[in-house]
Structure 1
Amino acid sequence: MTSPVLKLKGIFRLQWEPAQDAHVLLYPEGMVKLNQSAGEILKRCDGTRDIDMLIADLQQAFNAQGIGDEVRLFVAEAERRGWLERAEAAT
């Protein structure tokens, strides 16, 4: 059995906003300005990675070990806010 992959819910769009100098999460009622860590995590929630793959990718990209707990906490909060959903990986 495979772990579910993470992806943004359909009403949200992640993009870089030069005026904000940050990634933002756009939705019909407005936007959320994200810090750098949140932007890096969410841009990897593209429906191709489960949580363990996402953490491994971040650790490699930023040469940072021991970030798993913080990433899991952020993902849990993003799910609580309705930004993310889990889906079965495409085969």
Structure 2
Amino acid sequence: MDAGSRPRLVPKAMLKRDKVRDADLLLLPERVVKLNTSGAAILRLCDGSRTVQELVERLEEEFGATGLTDDVLTFLRDAQDQGWVVAG
């Protein structure tokens, strides 16, 4: 996974907003992962149409931050290791 990769959720994964618990969840077979705000924001953008660099630019705009590339790449690499996303 690098800045030019186009990450997407694996086919078996689905993002869901649990309004009762006020939490974002990643639903996988036999597993549910409660996501923090930034993790949910990153995964929501992982549809295979954007590069990691494009994700970073959008997140920096959304959160009014700069220098997020390393953090986003670390998260996506971990997500890939967990089997949540694949790089295109």
TM-score (norm 1): 0.87
1:67 aligns with 2:68: yes
Instruction: Determine what percentage of the aligned residue pairs are the same residue.
Output: 35
**How large is the Cα RMSD of the aligned pairs?**
1.0
Question: Shift in Å at residue 80 of structure 1?
Answer: 0.6
Gaps of 5+ in 1: none
TM-score (norm 2): 0.90
Q: Partner residue of 1:86?
A: 87
Select the structure of larger CA radius of gyration: 1
Q: How does 1:1-91 map to 2 (within 5 A)?
A: 3-87=4-88
Code of the residue aligned with 2:77 in structure 1: it is: A
Give the distance between the partners of 2:52 and 2:79, measured in 1 at CA. Answer: 13
Give the distance between the partners of 1:72 and 1:83, measured in 2 at CA. Answer: 14
